[in-house]
Amino acid sequence: MSAEPPIWLSDPADAGLAPSDVPSAEPIRVPDRLTERARGVPVVDDGEPLAPVEGVLDVHRVYAKLPFRDMPPQVLLRRSVLDRLVAARDALPAPFSLTVIDGWRSRRFQAELLEHYSARHESVDGFVSDPDDEVLLPPHVAGAAIDLTLTHRGRPLALGTDFDALVPESAVNWFETSSQESVDDELARRLRRLLAGALLGAGFSLLPEEWWHWSFGDQRWAAFYGARHARYGLTSP
């Protein structure tokens, strides 16, 4: 089962970008067994509230193009996540910036996304979390995770794949390990490194399977940085 998703983000080459337009950054390194190690991390929620993203950062709500019933009416994140995103954005060289695609989800919306993508793909393992998983809490329902991308002169960019492309090429370090060396591959590699450098510098953790998904304060973040526990558990506005 498969279906062509909507085209949500701009191809960087169509936006007039070449590899030489993207500043050099460090290669992306993915820790071994990050998700497996995250499953053993306890959660101690610190009670930090959710805060609206609109008005603070640019927002590009692609899910609004689909007929979801339970999508939150606005993009929300834990306050510290939002503050760190601002720091990551400010670390990027002009004319690059960030746009947020998705943030906090209710369990009902997480379930709706799981149903939507499971109907269109043979497997969603590693891409769409089970909303009822109590051992590895979906990071979006904790308000800890964001889906986002780079913008160039305000234009949201596809970094080697479109957003929510459930394919191997979406892995955050795909272009670090791929043997292909086309101009498009080099451009995608440089853009992913630029995004990763800004977010890692602000204290975020990556998700190995998705270049667009980053988090702070959840179980993967704790496993990534060696924290004793995650800061954020299930929450709501």
User: What angle separates helix 183-201 from helix 79-91, to the nearest 10 degrees?
Assistant: 130
- Kindly report whether the peptide bond that precedes residue 95 is cis, defined as omega within 30 degrees of 0: yes
Q: Collapse the DSSP code of 107 into the 3-class scheme (helix H, G, I; strand E, B; otherwise coil) and give the result.
A: helix
Residues 6+ apart with CB under 8 A from 175: 160, 185, 188, 189, 192
pLDDT tens profile 46-82: 999 999 999 999 999 999 999 999 999 999 999 999 9
pLDDT (0 to 100) of residue 182: 86
Q: In this structure, are strands 58-59 and 96-102 parallel, antiparallel, or unpaired? A: parallel
Tokens of 190: 């440089």
User: Quick count: other Cβ atoms within 10 Å of Cβ 234?
Assistant: 15
**Amino acid in position 81:** V
pLDDT (0 to 100) of residue 1: 37
Q: Which domains does the chain possess?
A: 39-225 (3.30.1380.10)
Which of 221, 203, 159, 204 has its CA nearest to residue 184? 159
Rounded Cα–Cα distance for residues 56 and 135 (Å)? 33
pLDDT tens profile 17-51: 999 999 999 999 999 999 999 998 999 999 999 99
Burial of 91 (0-12, 13-18, 19+ CB in 10 A): middle
Segment holding 215, helix H or strand E:
strand 210-215
Strand partners, 129: none
| Tens digit of pLDDT at every position of the chain (237 positions) | 345 567 899 999 999 999 999 999 999 999 999 999 999 899 999 999 999 999 999 999 999 999 999 999 999 999 999 999 999 999 999 999 999 999 999 999 999 999 999 999 989 999 999 999 999 999 999 999 999 999 999 999 999 999 999 999 999 999 998 666 788 999 999 999 999 999 999 999 999 999 999 999 999 999 999 999 999 999 999
End-to-end Cα separation, the chain, in angstroms: 36
Which of 226, 235, 170, 234 has its CA nearest to residue 41? 226
Segment holding 89, helix H or strand E:
helix 79-91
Q: Collapse the DSSP code of 37 into the 3-class scheme (helix H, G, I; strand E, B; otherwise coil) and give the result.
A: helix
Q: How big is the chain, counted in residues?
A: 237
Which of 136, 118, 75, 135 has its CA nearest to residue 127? 118
Burial of 83 (0-12, 13-18, 19+ CB in 10 A): middle
